[in-house]
Structure 1
Amino acid sequence: MSSTMVTDETTFIDRRNTLGAVDGPGRERRQFANSYNELSPDAAELARAIDTYKLSHRRRFINFEEMLSIFKSLGYSR
């Protein structure tokens, strides 16, 4: 009884685009999009403060307590 081993001659093709890697390997992939152009100056300041908080605390989403602390750090008072 003879056994025949069939091998697949296809090779692995790496489809990742290395030519367009302008950001380098150290860039964090979850960068926030800069959509502050459409916002009023006050709203843009709030958006930057929230993004800064999220980056410094390594949080993708924040809760209401954290958002309130950001508001207060910007000078909000009731």
Structure 2
Amino acid sequence: MATQLENEAPFIERRGNSSRAPIARERRQFANSHDALSPDARELASAIDQYKLEHRRRFITYEEMHSIITSLGYRKV
């Protein structure tokens, strides 16, 4: 009686060493997502992206977002 492992296809290694290594660059999930924004929204989005890069954060807290917004000069009226 054949076991489950004998019936499965062999593992194929697809991570071969390529002599043409890709150029190291930052991988952005949404590279052009700021294009359709208003100028003010684009400024905020860019400031948040810059904060994330400087602090090596993928996600930020509301407190961090608040500090970014106030650093841009926005105040509660």
Q: TM-score, normalised by structure 2?
A: 0.66
Query: How far apart, CA to CA, are the structure 1 residues paired with 2:53 and 2:69?
Result: 17
Residue of structure 2 in register with 1:59 after alignment: 57
Report the CA distance between 1:68 and its aligned residue.
0.3
Residues matched between the structures, number: 65
* 1:10-68 Cα distance to aligned partner (Å, 9 max, x none): 7955366x5986x51x2233x24221111111111110000000011000000011000
Residue segments in structure 2 that go unaligned for 5+ positions in a row = 1-9
State which structure, 1 or 2, has the greater radius of gyration over its C-alpha atoms.
1
Aligned partner of 1:66: which letter? E
Aligned partner of 1:52: which letter? Q
Going from structure 1 to structure 2, the CA distance change for 1:14 and 1:71 (only over 3 Å counts) comes to same
Aligned partner of 1:59: which letter? R
Residue of structure 2 in register with 1:14 after alignment: 14
Query: How far apart, CA to CA, are the structure 2 residues paired with 1:20 and 1:46?
Result: 37
Aligned partner of 2:60: which letter? I
Q: TM-score, normalised by structure 1?
A: 0.65
Identity of aligned residues (%): 55
Residue segments in structure 1 that go unaligned for 5+ positions in a row = 1-9
